Chain A
Protein backbone atom coordinates (compact mmCIF):
# COMPACT_ATOMS: atom_id res chain seq x y z
CA UNK A 1 0.00 0.00 0.00
CA UNK A 2 1.13 3.49 -0.84
CA UNK A 3 2.55 5.42 2.06
CA UNK A 4 3.65 9.00 2.66
CA UNK A 5 4.75 9.60 6.22
CA UNK A 6 5.17 12.99 7.83
CA UNK A 7 7.31 13.02 10.93
CA UNK A 8 4.91 14.88 13.22
CA UNK A 9 1.13 15.37 13.35
CA UNK A 10 1.33 18.36 15.67
CA UNK A 11 4.17 20.76 16.33
CA UNK A 12 4.44 23.87 18.48
CA UNK A 13 7.40 26.20 17.95
CA UNK A 14 8.42 29.67 19.00
CA UNK A 15 8.95 32.66 16.74
CA UNK A 16 12.46 32.71 15.34
CA UNK A 17 13.11 28.99 15.76
CA UNK A 18 14.40 26.91 12.87
CA UNK A 19 11.84 24.22 12.06
CA UNK A 20 12.28 21.01 10.09
CA UNK A 21 9.33 19.11 8.65
CA UNK A 22 10.21 15.70 7.32
CA UNK A 23 8.41 13.62 4.73
CA UNK A 24 9.21 10.08 3.61
CA UNK A 25 7.56 8.06 0.83
CA UNK A 26 7.99 4.37 0.15
CA UNK A 27 6.74 4.25 -3.44
CA UNK A 28 9.98 5.16 -5.24
CA UNK A 29 8.24 8.27 -6.61
CA UNK A 30 10.27 10.86 -8.45
CA UNK A 31 8.09 13.87 -7.57
CA UNK A 32 7.53 15.26 -4.12
CA UNK A 33 5.59 18.33 -3.04
CA UNK A 34 5.07 20.53 0.00
CA UNK A 35 1.77 22.37 0.35
CA UNK A 36 0.25 24.44 3.10
CA UNK A 37 -3.46 24.54 3.74
CA UNK A 38 -5.25 27.44 5.38
CA UNK A 39 -9.00 28.00 5.86
CA UNK A 40 -10.51 29.78 2.89
CA UNK A 41 -7.26 29.60 0.88
CA UNK A 42 -7.19 25.94 -0.07
CA UNK A 43 -3.90 24.14 -0.73
CA UNK A 44 -0.99 26.27 -1.90
CA UNK A 45 2.23 24.84 -3.28
CA UNK A 46 5.39 25.87 -1.44
CA UNK A 47 8.08 23.79 -3.18
CA UNK A 48 8.31 20.88 -5.56
CA UNK A 49 11.08 18.39 -6.31
CA UNK A 50 11.25 16.17 -9.38
CA UNK A 51 14.50 14.40 -8.55
CA UNK A 52 17.19 14.09 -5.90
CA UNK A 53 18.80 17.46 -5.22
CA UNK A 54 16.40 19.16 -7.63
CA UNK A 55 13.80 21.67 -6.47
CA UNK A 56 11.46 24.27 -7.89
CA UNK A 57 9.66 27.09 -6.18
CA UNK A 58 5.92 26.89 -5.96
CA UNK A 59 3.47 29.71 -5.41
CA UNK A 60 4.55 30.75 -1.91
CA UNK A 61 8.23 29.84 -1.31
CA UNK A 62 9.14 32.91 0.76
CA UNK A 63 10.34 32.01 4.23
CA UNK A 64 10.85 28.34 3.34
CA UNK A 65 13.59 26.15 1.92
CA UNK A 66 13.70 22.46 1.06
CA UNK A 67 16.15 19.63 0.89
CA UNK A 68 16.05 16.40 -1.08
CA UNK A 69 19.22 14.41 -0.52
CA UNK A 70 17.58 11.02 -1.00
CA UNK A 71 14.79 10.02 -3.33
CA UNK A 72 12.43 8.96 -0.57
CA UNK A 73 12.86 11.99 1.68
CA UNK A 74 11.81 15.61 1.20
CA UNK A 75 12.33 18.11 3.99
CA UNK A 76 10.73 21.50 4.45
CA UNK A 77 12.71 24.02 6.47
CA UNK A 78 11.42 27.18 8.08
CA UNK A 79 14.62 29.15 8.61
CA UNK A 80 13.11 31.50 11.20
CA UNK A 81 9.55 30.60 12.06
CA UNK A 82 6.98 33.37 12.19
CA UNK A 83 3.40 33.41 13.42
CA UNK A 84 2.06 33.72 9.87
CA UNK A 85 3.53 30.29 9.15
CA UNK A 86 1.07 28.69 11.54
CA UNK A 87 -0.73 26.28 9.23
CA UNK A 88 -1.37 22.69 8.16
CA UNK A 89 1.53 21.41 6.08
CA UNK A 90 0.96 18.61 3.63
CA UNK A 91 3.54 16.53 1.82
CA UNK A 92 2.67 14.60 -1.35
CA UNK A 93 4.42 12.41 -3.90
CA UNK A 94 3.69 11.21 -7.39
CA UNK A 95 5.26 9.18 -10.16
CA UNK A 96 6.44 10.68 -13.45
CA UNK A 97 4.16 8.52 -15.61
CA UNK A 98 1.91 10.71 -17.78
CA UNK A 99 -1.36 10.04 -16.00
CA UNK A 100 0.32 9.33 -12.73
CA UNK A 101 1.64 12.88 -12.45
CA UNK A 102 -1.70 14.05 -11.20
CA UNK A 103 -2.28 11.15 -8.87
CA UNK A 104 -0.65 12.53 -5.79
CA UNK A 105 -0.47 10.63 -2.54
CA UNK A 106 -0.59 12.76 0.56
CA UNK A 107 0.69 12.38 4.07
CA UNK A 108 -1.57 12.92 7.07
CA UNK A 109 -0.32 16.47 7.51
CA UNK A 110 1.56 18.39 10.19
CA UNK A 111 -0.34 21.06 12.07
CA UNK A 112 2.27 23.64 13.00
CA UNK A 113 1.61 26.38 15.53
CA UNK A 114 4.16 29.18 15.86
CA UNK A 115 3.78 31.17 19.07
Chain B
Protein backbone atom coordinates (compact mmCIF):
# COMPACT_ATOMS: atom_id res chain seq x y z
CA UNK B 1 0.00 0.00 0.00
CA UNK B 2 1.07 3.54 -0.67
CA UNK B 3 2.45 5.41 2.32
CA UNK B 4 0.68 8.53 3.52
CA UNK B 5 2.08 11.60 5.25
CA UNK B 6 -0.04 13.88 7.41
CA UNK B 7 0.85 16.77 9.70
CA UNK B 8 0.78 15.63 13.33
CA UNK B 9 -1.53 18.39 14.50
CA UNK B 10 -3.66 21.32 13.37
CA UNK B 11 -5.87 23.92 14.98
CA UNK B 12 -9.07 25.37 13.58
CA UNK B 13 -11.47 28.01 14.84
CA UNK B 14 -15.03 26.91 15.44
CA UNK B 15 -17.25 27.70 12.48
CA UNK B 16 -14.36 27.95 10.05
CA UNK B 17 -13.42 25.39 7.44
CA UNK B 18 -10.86 22.78 8.48
CA UNK B 19 -8.59 21.67 5.66
CA UNK B 20 -6.61 18.54 6.44
CA UNK B 21 -3.87 17.62 3.95
CA UNK B 22 -2.51 14.19 3.09
CA UNK B 23 0.42 13.32 0.83
CA UNK B 24 0.43 9.98 -0.96
CA UNK B 25 2.98 10.46 -3.71
CA UNK B 26 3.42 6.71 -4.39
CA UNK B 27 -0.28 5.99 -4.86
CA UNK B 28 -1.10 3.42 -7.55
CA UNK B 29 -3.80 3.77 -10.18
CA UNK B 30 -6.13 1.31 -8.46
CA UNK B 31 -5.74 2.68 -4.93
CA UNK B 32 -8.46 4.69 -3.27
CA UNK B 33 -8.07 7.38 -0.63
CA UNK B 34 -10.11 6.80 2.53
CA UNK B 35 -10.55 9.12 5.49
CA UNK B 36 -11.48 8.06 8.99
CA UNK B 37 -11.51 9.93 12.26
CA UNK B 38 -11.30 8.88 15.88
CA UNK B 39 -12.79 10.98 18.60
CA UNK B 40 -11.12 10.47 21.96
CA UNK B 41 -11.98 7.11 23.58
CA UNK B 42 -14.24 6.05 20.71
CA UNK B 43 -13.84 3.75 17.75
CA UNK B 44 -12.75 5.12 14.36
CA UNK B 45 -15.48 6.51 12.14
CA UNK B 46 -15.54 6.34 8.36
CA UNK B 47 -15.84 9.76 6.73
CA UNK B 48 -15.40 9.60 2.96
CA UNK B 49 -13.41 7.97 0.18
CA UNK B 50 -12.47 8.72 -3.43
CA UNK B 51 -10.44 7.55 -6.41
CA UNK B 52 -9.76 10.62 -8.56
CA UNK B 53 -12.85 12.78 -8.59
CA UNK B 54 -13.71 15.14 -5.80
CA UNK B 55 -16.32 13.75 -3.46
CA UNK B 56 -18.77 15.29 -1.02
CA UNK B 57 -21.11 13.82 1.54
CA UNK B 58 -22.96 15.08 4.58
CA UNK B 59 -19.81 15.03 6.69
CA UNK B 60 -17.05 16.39 4.48
CA UNK B 61 -15.57 17.01 1.06
CA UNK B 62 -12.55 15.25 -0.39
CA UNK B 63 -10.39 17.04 -2.92
CA UNK B 64 -7.86 14.89 -4.79
CA UNK B 65 -5.22 16.57 -6.94
CA UNK B 66 -5.13 15.74 -10.63
CA UNK B 67 -1.91 13.73 -10.27
CA UNK B 68 -3.45 11.97 -7.24
CA UNK B 69 -0.33 12.50 -5.18
CA UNK B 70 -2.13 14.42 -2.48
CA UNK B 71 -5.60 15.08 -1.14
CA UNK B 72 -7.38 17.39 1.27
CA UNK B 73 -10.27 16.61 3.57
CA UNK B 74 -12.48 19.62 4.14
CA UNK B 75 -14.85 20.03 7.07
CA UNK B 76 -16.77 23.09 5.88
CA UNK B 77 -17.91 24.44 9.25
CA UNK B 78 -15.91 22.85 12.03
CA UNK B 79 -17.53 22.41 15.43
CA UNK B 80 -16.03 21.48 18.78
CA UNK B 81 -17.31 17.93 18.22
CA UNK B 82 -15.02 17.62 15.21
CA UNK B 83 -11.98 17.60 17.50
CA UNK B 84 -10.43 14.20 16.75
CA UNK B 85 -7.53 12.39 15.11
CA UNK B 86 -8.04 12.19 11.35
CA UNK B 87 -6.52 9.33 9.38
CA UNK B 88 -5.83 9.25 5.66
CA UNK B 89 -5.53 5.68 4.32
CA UNK B 90 -4.66 4.59 0.81
CA UNK B 91 -5.82 1.11 -0.17
CA UNK B 92 -6.74 -1.05 -3.10
CA UNK B 93 -10.51 -1.44 -2.87
CA UNK B 94 -10.72 -5.15 -3.45
CA UNK B 95 -8.76 -6.92 -0.76
CA UNK B 96 -9.74 -10.35 0.38
CA UNK B 97 -9.01 -12.27 3.51
CA UNK B 98 -7.18 -10.72 6.40
CA UNK B 99 -5.57 -8.22 4.07
CA UNK B 100 -8.84 -6.37 4.31
CA UNK B 101 -7.70 -4.84 7.57
CA UNK B 102 -7.07 -1.13 7.58
CA UNK B 103 -3.65 0.24 8.41
CA UNK B 104 -3.95 3.42 10.43
CA UNK B 105 -0.91 5.69 10.62
CA UNK B 106 -0.47 8.40 13.22
CA UNK B 107 -2.99 10.76 11.63
CA UNK B 108 -3.56 14.47 12.27
CA UNK B 109 -4.86 15.61 15.63
CA UNK B 110 -7.36 18.37 14.82
CA UNK B 111 -8.24 20.71 17.66
CA UNK B 112 -11.26 22.92 17.05
CA UNK B 113 -11.16 25.92 19.34
CA UNK B 114 -14.02 28.25 20.35
Contacts and interface: CB of A to CB of B under 8 A. Distances in A.
Interface of A: 4, 31, 33, 35, 42-43, 45, 48, 50, 56-59, 90-92, 94, 98-99, 101-109, 111
A104 B38 CA distance: 13
Counting chain B residues whose Cβ lies within 8 A of the other chain, the interface size class is 20 to 34
Given A103-B49, A106-B45, A109-B42, A98 B93 contact: yes
Given A102-B49, A104-B102, A50 B41 contact: no
B97 A102 contact: no
B46 A105 contact: yes
Given A43-B102, A94-B100, A104-B102, A99 B42 contact: no
A109 B45 CA distance: 12
B46 A99 contact: no
B104 A43 contact: yes
Nearest to A35: B101
Nearest to B97: A56
Nearest to B95: A101
B32 A99 contact: yes
Contacts of A50: 96-97, 100
Contact of A99 (B41, B49, B97): B49
A109 B93 contact: no
B44 A90 contact: yes
Interface centre among A35, A102, A107, A111 (most CB of B within 10 A): A102
Given A42-B106, A98-B94, A106 B100 contact: no
A101 B94 contact: yes
